[in-house]
Structure 1
Amino acid sequence: MFRKISLVCLALIASPAIGELPATYKYGTNLGGWLLSEPWMKPVEWAAIGGEYCPADSASCAASEWGLARKLGQKAANEAFLKHWQSWFNQDHVNQLKALKLDHVRIPLGFWIVEELVEAPAELYAQGGWMELKRGLRQLRDAGFHVTLDMHAMPGVSTSNQQFAGNVTSDVQFYKDHNYQRALTWGAVLASMSHLDPDFSSVVAIQCLNEPLTDANLTPGLEQYYSDFVTVTRVVEYAIGVECEADLRESIHRLSRSKNGMVALRAAIPLIVTYAGKAKVVVDPKILDSLKRSSASPSPVVTAPVPVETTIITATSRSSVSAAGIPTEGDSECRSPRINPTNSHQKCSISRVSRACLATMAMPKRWQWKGNGNSMVNHTLGPAAYDDHLYFAYGGVAEPNIKSYISTMCTIPHYQAAKKLGEEPYGHGEFSIAVNFNATHDDLRAWGDAQRFMYNQEHYWTFWTFRLGQVLEPNLTQSYTETWSYLGAVEAGVWPRDPSQYYNPSICAPFINPTSNSSKADLPGPQLNQTKQH
């Protein structure tokens, strides 16, 4: 059975805060290890599906997604990873995170989730992840979470010798036109599905790159990639008819000057049709025609998007479609997932429902501390956001003791520096409470308090990560799960069940106000023990 629905209602109503992340995007965690495996996080589970763990030289064994797929072969890899995807993150985990009052998640992805981008036989990765992404997004949407899709593992590998890159290698090839183009095509598919596929209706941002090389001299073309990512995202949204605080016609002009953007968009058009089909959505020819004209003309041709309609198959097995509140002809209500995915409805006619532009997200300029760092700030068009990462456990930030950790964190100037550059909204999309010294539980509570105190002044924070698996070395199990796993830290009593609360709300007082005599600010001290949560 086919029912006509308007694309305007198929996507989303704008968030109350147009031009930035939703105000309710505040406390979150990463879904690390799910659709992009990092064997260090779950060596026992990794070994169970055929993987290997060789921490001294991860490139020498099946210690990455590429390495394991190459070892198993395509069919066996598909089967092994499907079992992993279904067990590593499921409805039980959604329920646990919801009970802990979190409001968003960041989902690290590898480019191979859009399987057509994989260049076999040189590249080999498990297939089938897209439908698992849809399943997880559907569960998160129904629970009321906001979602950032994180382009974590890039075509050609963007960071050397890292499991999160998908292939552990020193041969970094991402920073070249061909792989920039593949990444932009990937981004165009994610952007279009965030508006066309009801399962994606809780997506509020797409991050275009995770942790580029810190030496800007080794990343030629990166700032142009940031610009092109914004351009391609907005061209897609303009073609669909998304409302935005910015004039999206400017994206068409920008595209006409972007070689990589035009190549990427041409490659994305058939993929948009393919992936819309996975959602049982038929894309209106007017949208495709708009995209084709935008990517084919060497000079800008800007015409206003016309109201379009499309069709969706509403078979009984697609209960998620009706659960998403997608209105059909004659319906008088449109669900507004970006305002409140669980219970918010707004009376609307098809002609007056609007959708919000996605936030284009990148890491801040300070991440590339060698050379002249790259930033997205001069290339934004519409809402943007900046995602910083900071880990003390690897050394080089503070002395290995709790007092140095706290004093350094409470006076760290990164947010102020980002604001001066205009990199807002700004937050920390990765951090943990791991340390490089023997810490007591009181130490960890104090360390978590200091980070929450500072990061709560920013727009958001997103802990790394939501869970860990079994660890091979028994003596490491406790310290790993208590400091790298959100669920593990809460269970251990070193992180509060309510993320807005502190064990010691005055943790930074001695450093913000050195004359303070508050007993609550002792590091660590009796006050922490008295306020311990169970």
Structure 2
Amino acid sequence: MTGMAHLDPMFKGAVSIQAVNEPIMDATLTPGYGEFQKNFVLTVRAVEALLGIGVHAGFPHFSSANFTTVLIEASTTDQFNPEVQDALAAAGPILLQIAAEFNIQPVFNVHAQDGGQREPLTTNFMDINWQFNDPPNPADATLGPQGYDNHLYYSFGGVADPNPDAYLQSICNLRRVENDAAVGNSPLWFGEWALSTQFDASDDFLRDWADAQKLAYSKGQGWIFWSFKIEISPEAGDTARQWSYTEGVKRGYLTRKPAELHNPHVCDDFVE
């Protein structure tokens, strides 16, 4: 994926790769996840080093312009652990195919070819607070640009009591951005959220619920609503009312301009 992001013109807009989406929340059930995080980052950076992009201190310098030579060197150097070496060796045939398809073989230095404009990808993990029971800190794997993701859904329980006041009390006092930053998980964005609830929410509440969540999530590096559009059909019912961004805009719960709010004071009576 790192190779494709830098080599395939169709992926030129890619700026980040997330290692694992929503791992099991109980960290005792994901042994080795911390080592996986470190190896994931090292592999991304190793591929970029092969391409001459964002080479980091401590990484071997690959001087050859022939990709085959560089790949063999990278997958055998003792500066990478066996897991990273294996990943590079497995990715080799795929990267060679990409290079051949886009006529950039044997010269394999994207950084030089595009005038030095390519930037390292941002490696991305769910934030440390996604898991419980002493999870590994993804910040410990950082090497180059890195970001953190959180998904917050109240409708699955365990966040707040199922009533409007409890929901607003909780979201208006959310300190996830600050708590994550205190342990190095910054920048943080909220990659998934919706208007879903555990109770029968009124239209007025959903409008407030949208504003309050946007206020909370905008304290970080932004948010992505899940999902952009959901079908309305006899089979799907009215799921779109709380799960579709386009339907939320149509019904007036969400503002047409994402950065705007219906009521910027929605949290005034709930902030502690």
TM category, shorter: 0.7 to 0.9
Q: Does 1:428 align with 2:201?
A: no
Q: Which runs of 5+ in 2 are unaligned?
A: 62-73
Q: Which one of the candidate residues 468, 480, 483 is aligned to 2:242?
A: 483
The aligned amino acid for 1:282 is N
CA deviations over 1:240-266 (Å, ceiling 9, x no partner) = 11136x437279799734222111110
Name which structure has the greater RCO, CA cutoff 8 Å, separation 6+.
1
Partners of 1:457 and 1:372 in 2: CA distance: 26
Q: Indicate the residue corresponding to 2:171 in structure 1.
A: 409
Q: Which aligned pairs between 1:388-407 and structure 2 lie closer than 5 A?
A: 388-407=150-169
Q: Which aligned pairs between 1:98-497 and structure 2 lie closer than 5 A?
A: 190-243=1-54, 246-247=56-57, 249=59, 256-277=79-100, 280-285=101-106, 287=108, 352-369=115-132, 371-473=133-235, 477-478=237-238, 480-497=239-256
| Matched residue SS, 2:154 | coil
Partners of 2:82 and 2:26 in 1: CA distance: 25
| Matched residue SS, 2:237 | helix
What's the CA shift for 1:308? 6.2
What's the CA shift for 1:281? 0.7
Structure with higher strand content:
1
CA deviations over 1:300-325 (Å, ceiling 9, x no partner) = xxxxx79766xxxxxxxxxxxxxxxx
Question: What is the TM-score when the length of structure 2 is the normalising length?
Answer: 0.87
The aligned amino acid for 1:465 is S
Q: Indicate the residue corresponding to 1:338 in structure 2.
A: none
Q: Is the 8 A contact 1:193 1:276 kept in 2?
A: no
Partners of 1:254 and 1:391 in 2: CA distance: 44
The aligned amino acid for 2:184 is G
| Matched residue SS, 1:267 | helix
Q: Indicate the residue corresponding to 1:173 in structure 2.
A: none
Structure 1 220/396 Cα, relative in aligned 2: closer, same or farther at 3 Å? same
What's the CA shift for 1:401? 1.2
What's the CA shift for 1:415? 1.3
Question: What is the TM-score when the length of structure 1 is the normalising length?
Answer: 0.46
Q: Is the 8 A contact 2:53 2:110 kept in 1?
A: no
CA deviations over 1:178-211 (Å, ceiling 9, x no partner) = xxxxxxxxxxxx1111111111111110001001
CA deviations over 1:4-58 (Å, ceiling 9, x no partner) = xxxxxxxxxxxxxxxxxxxxxxxxxxxxxxxxxxxxxxxxxxxxxxxxxxxxxxx
Q: Which runs of 5+ in 1 are unaligned?
A: 1-189, 288-304, 310-349, 515-534
Q: Is the 8 A contact 1:273 1:283 kept in 2?
A: no
Q: CA RMSD in A?
A: 2.4
Q: Is the 8 A contact 1:238 1:248 kept in 2?
A: no
Q: Is the 8 A contact 1:228 1:255 kept in 2?
A: no
Partners of 1:377 and 1:218 in 2: CA distance: 20
Q: Does 1:506 align with 2:265?
A: yes
Q: Is the 8 A contact 1:392 1:398 kept in 2?
A: yes
Partners of 2:78 and 2:249 in 1: CA distance: 47
- Percent identity of the aligned residues? 33
Structure 1 275/511 Cα, relative in aligned 2: closer, same or farther at 3 Å? same
Q: Is the 8 A contact 2:207 2:253 kept in 1?
A: yes
Structure 1 455/409 Cα, relative in aligned 2: closer, same or farther at 3 Å? same
The aligned amino acid for 1:477 is G
What's the CA shift for 1:285? 3.1
